[in-house]
Amino acid sequence: MDKNDVIRQVQEENTDRLSWGNLSWLVGASQMPGAEQTFGIVTIHPGKRNPLHLHPNCEELLYVISGECEHKLGDEIFSLAPGSVIRIPRGIPHWARCTSTEPLVAVISFSSADRQAESLEGDEIA
């Protein structure tokens, strides 16, 4: 087994830089052929949010490492702080807005290696 098939580190070439923050992908079909999940780190800048979107083919888990956010899930808004995790069911519209003075940094995990995302606002979601 090749080391690159099982171990990854966050690197520039694996990071999508967006107007609202960054998405760093560590595991997924394109990073590790044969993977059955997608795993990454999201950073959202203070006062910014990602666009309203949904994932038609997978469930998402978001675990907050640092910073705080409001997380819209369907018609409800939840407050998340370090140590919080939220489960986002497949097909449910959602976004996260950083409410702290420091960036929100969270681990994101998806139940599919080919995570799909559909923007409901026409903005960049990567």
Tell me: the pLDDT tens digits for 21-30?
A: 999 999 999 8
E strands, 1-126, are: 15-17, 21-27, 38-44, 53-54, 60-66, 69-73, 76-80, 85-88, 94-98, 104-110, 118-119
* 125 band by pLDDT with thresholds 50, 70 and 90: confident
Mean pLDDT of the 4-14 span = 70
Q: Where are the domains of the chain?
A: 22-114
The residue count of the chain comes to 126
Any residues with CB less than 8 A from the CB of 30 and at least 6 apart, and which?
A: none
- According to the model, what pLDDT value does residue 35 have? 93
- In whole angstroms, how far apart are CA 23 and each of 8, 47, 48, 85, 92? 15, 17, 14, 18, 20
Q: Domain spanning 22-114: which CATH class is it, in words?
A: mainly beta
Mean pLDDT of the 71-76 span = 98
- According to the model, what pLDDT value does residue 124 have? 73
